[in-house]
């Protein structure tokens, strides 16, 4: 039986930190669904379609990665694609409490779906979509933080092309 996992997130936008987790997750699982939370209560910079498009482009070399969106509960989405695992990245101790809360809740909701954590490569341990947006809006160089396509998309959003 194929091992299937979901890697959920906001991905607003995808960074090299996310990509690191996705690549490593895709080595371990037969099929990895990278899924973007479609939640109208958040106020994202990129639309869900834009985020999906960027993720698709930067993961196109990974044949076992599919990109999708979800709304509602993650465990329900996972079940709908027969995934038995959730993958999350852990950057630093500060992530732990939030991740423990999500993981515990997901386990209450569906105990058959296991969450696995991948430690982010040290070079990305400070990196988040928020921090990238924060500096990109002032025109900082972000080429070491996000793939070139994402860098272009950010500069376009902030009218810094």
State residue 70 phi and psi, 5-degree precision. Answer: -145, 155
Please tell me which residue in 10, 51, 88, 129 is annotated as part of the active site: 129
**Structure-block tokens of residue 62:** 């990974």
Of the candidates 138, 15, 128, 33, the one whose C-alpha atom is nearest the C-alpha of residue 78 is 33
Q: How far apart are the C-alpha atoms of 135 and 60, rounded to whole Å?
A: 27
Q: Specify whether 125 is catalytic.
A: no
Which CB sits closer to ligand PNS, 90 or 102? 102
Q: Which is nearer to ligand PNS, 138 or 147 (CB)?
A: 147
Burial class (CB in 10 A: 0-12, 13-18, 19+), 63: exposed
107: annotated active-site residue: no
Closest distance between ligand PNS and the C-beta of residue 161, in Å? 27
143 given a catalytic annotation:
no
Check if 94 is active-site. no
Q: Which residue ranges make up the site for ligand PNS (CB under 6 A)? A: 8-10, 37, 73-74, 102, 105-106
Q: Is the dihedral of CA 40, 50, 16, 65 positive or negative?
A: positive
Q: Which of 10, 51, 88, 91 is catalytic?
A: 91
Which single residue brings its beta carbon nearest to ligand PNS?
Answer: 9
Q: Catalogue the active-site residues.
A: 18, 42, 91, 129
């Amino acid at each position: 039986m194929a091992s299937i996992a979901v890697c959920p997130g906001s991905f607003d936008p995808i960074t090299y930190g996310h990509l690191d987790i996705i690549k490593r997750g895709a080595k371990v699982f037969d099929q990895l669904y990278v899924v973007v939370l479609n939640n109208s209560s958040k106020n994202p910079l990129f639309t869900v379609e834009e985020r999906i498009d960027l993720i698709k482009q930067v993961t196109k070399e990974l044949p076992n990665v599919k990109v999708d969106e979800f709304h509602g509960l993650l465990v329900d989405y996972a079940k709908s694609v027969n995934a038995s695992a959730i993958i999350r990245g852990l950057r630093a101790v500060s992530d732990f409490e939030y991740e423990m809360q999500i993981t515990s809740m997901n386990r209450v909701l569906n105990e058959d779906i296991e969450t696995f954590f991948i430690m982010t490569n040290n070079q990305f341990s400070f990196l988040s979509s928020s921090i990238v947006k924060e500096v990109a809006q002032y025109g900082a160089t972000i080429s070491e933080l996000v793939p070139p396509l994402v860098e272009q998309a950010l500069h376009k959003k902030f009218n810094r092309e």
